[in-house]
Amino acid sequence: MATIIEQLATALQSSGLVVGLEHHAQAILAKLATSGGRTQVVKVSLEQRKQSSDYLVRLTSRACKAEHHSIIKEALKTNSLSEVGSLSLNTAGSTSVIDVRHSLVAEGLQFDEFVSALRTVAFHADAIEQRMGGGDKF
């Protein structure tokens, strides 16, 4: 039986919404065309909440490096606005980065809700990357 991630990957492939797609049972890497010939990669993963049987569909897209304290302050201010997609500091790698993340409840997730979130996360992250002058790496 196909996992929810596999179902979403199949639906994405046939929808023509993405310009590139890789997936396995637990995650999707979807590349979306944004604006001015730019693209943005969004990782879609299925995560189980700690000490719970609930699953979330997480959408994550890298926006920029967190090189200065001013970027962190700016990200926190942006987070207080009414935008879908959360800016968060990812310190797991050798360089700290700012990710745009959004979580959806996996159970009963509708495809239009997923697509709306996927596009919003991609456009939000790409706009930040563009504003930070970071080219089109992500």
Positions in the binding site for another protein (CB under 8 A):
49, 54, 56, 66, 69, 72-73, 75-84, 86-91, 98-99, 101, 103-105, 108, 110, 112-113, 116-117, 120, 123
Is there a contact between 41 and 29 (Cβ–Cβ < 8 Å)?
yes
The side-by-side arrangement of strands in the sheet containing 86-90 is 20-23, 27-33, 39-48, 55-65, 97-105, 86-90
How far is it, in rounded angstroms, from Cα 115 to Cα 22?
16
Minimum Å gap between C-beta 49 and another protein is: 6
Minimum Å gap between C-beta 133 and another protein is: 20
Minimum Å gap between C-beta 93 and another protein is: 12
Instruction: Identify which of residues 2 and 76 has a Cβ nearer to another protein in the complex.
Output: 76
Minimum Å gap between C-beta 15 and another protein is: 16
Instruction: Identify which of residues 18 and 66 has a Cβ nearer to another protein in the complex.
Output: 66
Instruction: Identify which of residues 27 and 56 has a Cβ nearer to another protein in the complex.
Output: 56
- The DSSP string of 40-78 is EEEEEEEEEPTTSS-EEEEEEEEEEE--SHHHHHHHHHH
Please give the span between the terminal C-alpha atoms of the chain, in angstroms, as a whole number: 32
Instruction: Identify which of residues 69 and 137 has a Cβ nearer to another protein in the complex.
Output: 69
